[in-house]
């Protein structure tokens, strides 16, 4: 609903406000006429606009509503489990950081890390077993995995946080938000938008990715996004500024100077003007 015009969005906000206010007032716990995808949009809009915050959060949990993608900022969705792997590894359970209290919790957290590193979706049992217990036999691997999975689910506070089906394991998006998966989706959407015509959306996605993770790999990806944007809009000084910022953070000062010279040439050619003082790299 973010792509709606301001007038359409105002109307949508008004209707969502009425709907959830009536639902809270009369104790309605579901809306039979809407698909789960529509409910996800309504719930997200309500969270963005702080509409009946507690009621909407309980509604999301009760009906296990899942946002349409992992790019939704964690502060806008009541995921009980929030996992950070970009930088320090942290597991946040309902606002509390899980600190392993014994060696027994070490292996469950290793299992969680392996799941995330393998994409978090339908990871084969055999693959996990070979990574975590390479020296054990098949039957023993299966038994140890079963025990470790039980401990991980207990650690995360809900059996359904990890889906075990058809000899695969998955992180349940109803319960779990993972920064690496959100970051990956943001970068993919930013690159896709940059290759199309929606440069503003590309920049927004890139900024959200930058907020999520400040690592060297990120700067290379962000540089790719801004380079694409410059090729489409060579008269936008901000894009040069952002690209130089990426290059400087990646330690590539010489390339940043070349981008500045490119900016200078293009602005003089198009507008007959020089770049603003803040554009020149320090």
Are the beta carbons of 228 and 219 closer than 8 angstroms? no
Q: What order of strands is seen across the sheet that includes strand 162-165?
A: 123-124, 168-171, 162-165
pLDDT mean over 132-146:
87
- Over residues 46-80, the pLDDT tens digits come to 888 888 888 888 888 888 888 877 778 888 888 88
Whole-number pLDDT of residue 101: 66
Q: What is the dihedral of CA 14, 20, 23, 24, to 10 degrees?
A: -120
Query: How confident is the model at residue 165, as a pLDDT?
Result: 95
219, pLDDT greater than 60: yes
The answer to whether the beta carbons of residues 155 and 177 sit under 8 Å apart is no
Q: What is the architecture of the domain spanning 179-279?
A: Alpha Horseshoe (1.25)
- Per residue in 157-204, pLDDT (tens digit) is 889 999 999 999 999 988 899 888 888 888 888 888 877 767 777 788
What's the predicted TM-score (pTM) here? 0.62
Q: How far is CA 134 from CA 8, 122, 149, 263, in A?
A: 57, 20, 17, 54
CATH fold label, 81-178 = Arc Repressor Mutant, subunit A (1.10.10)
> pLDDT tens digits, residue range 14-43?
888 888 888 888 777 666 667 778 888 888
For residue 217, the model assigns a pLDDT of: 53
Q: Angle 253-271/237-249 helices, nearest 10 degrees?
A: 170
What pLDDT was estimated at residue 67? 85
If you average pLDDT over residues 260-267, what whole number do you get?
94
Q: Which pLDDT score, from 0 to 100, does residue 103 have? A: 66
| Percentage with pLDDT > 70 across the chain | 89
- Hey, where are the domains in the chain? 6-68, 81-178, 179-279
Token digits of residue 24: 């809270």
């Amino acid at each position: 609903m973010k792509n709606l015009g301001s007038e359409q969005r105002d109307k949508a906000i008004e209707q969502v406000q009425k709907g959830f206010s009536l639902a809270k007032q009369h104790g309605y716990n579901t809306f039979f006429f809407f698909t789960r995808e529509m409910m996800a949009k309504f719930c997200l809009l309500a969270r963005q606009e702080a509409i009946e915050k507690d009621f909407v959060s309980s509604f999301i949990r009760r009906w296990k509503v899942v946002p349409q993608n992992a790019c939704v900022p964690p502060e806008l969705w009541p995921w009980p489990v929030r996992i950070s792997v970009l930088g320090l590894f942290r597991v946040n359970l309902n606002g509390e950081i899980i600190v392993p209290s014994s060696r027994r919790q070490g292996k469950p957290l290793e299992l969680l890390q392996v799941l995330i590193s393998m994409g978090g979706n339908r990871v084969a049992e055999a693959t996990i077993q070979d990574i975590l217990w390479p020296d054990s036999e098949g039957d023993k691997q299966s038994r140890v995995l079963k025990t470790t999975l039980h401990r991980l689910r207990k650690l995360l506070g809900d059996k359904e946080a990890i889906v075990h089906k058809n000899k695969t394991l998955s992180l349940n998006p109803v319960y779990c938000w993972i920064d690496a998966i959100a970051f990956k989706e943001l970068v993919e959407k930013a690159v896709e938008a940059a290759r199309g015509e929606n440069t503003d959306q590309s920049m927004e996605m890139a900024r959200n990715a930058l907020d999520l993770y400040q690592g060297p790999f990120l700067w290379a990806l962000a540089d790719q996004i801004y380079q694409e944007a410059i090729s489409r809009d060579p008269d936008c000084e901000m894009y040069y500024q952002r690209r130089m910022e990426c290059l400087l953070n990646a330690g590539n000062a010489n390339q940043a100077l070349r981008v500045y010279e490119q900016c200078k040439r293009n602005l003089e050619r198009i507008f007959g003007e020089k770049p603003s003082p803040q554009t020149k790299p320090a």
